[in-house]
Structure 1
Amino acid sequence: MTTQSLEHIALFLGIAGLACFAWPIMMRLSGKGQVEPLGSGKSLRSPLWWAGFLLTIAAIFLQRIASQQDGGG
């Protein structure tokens, strides 16, 4: 894969990860989200949150690979 295609994939994964992070927060702020009791420990840790976390980690990993292939150590 070329460096540019890795950067584009990393950008896409980063945007998707951000959307997964932001969606539960936006739903909660709009009043449409499921409200957990305070102190339950599950406030925003939905499966969508974890998907956003994993997509963001993958984006960071791909960006590092692309920067190493480009010669920028």
Structure 2
Amino acid sequence: MKAPKTANRARPEEQGGHSGHLSSIADHLGDRLNTRVKVTLGARKGQMVIDFATIQDLNRILAEIGEPTEVSLAP
């Protein structure tokens, strides 16, 4: 029976030693937007995730970042 393979790679946000800086950026954005923000960096690209609880919360965040579009559930 073979042992399961495990990856010997660092997590993407730790590869370049940027995890502290990315965490600081996520904290700053989270404070500014009043919601949880996650920022990760891979070898070639990154990702930013902004959490929202409701459509109204999404619209508030969009207004905060200067996006004039309002999202609604109505068709």
The structure where strand makes up a greater share of residues is: 2
Higher RCO, Cα 8 Å, sep 6+: 1
TM over 0.5, shorter chain: no
- Compute the TM-score of the two structures, normalised by the length of structure 2: 0.27
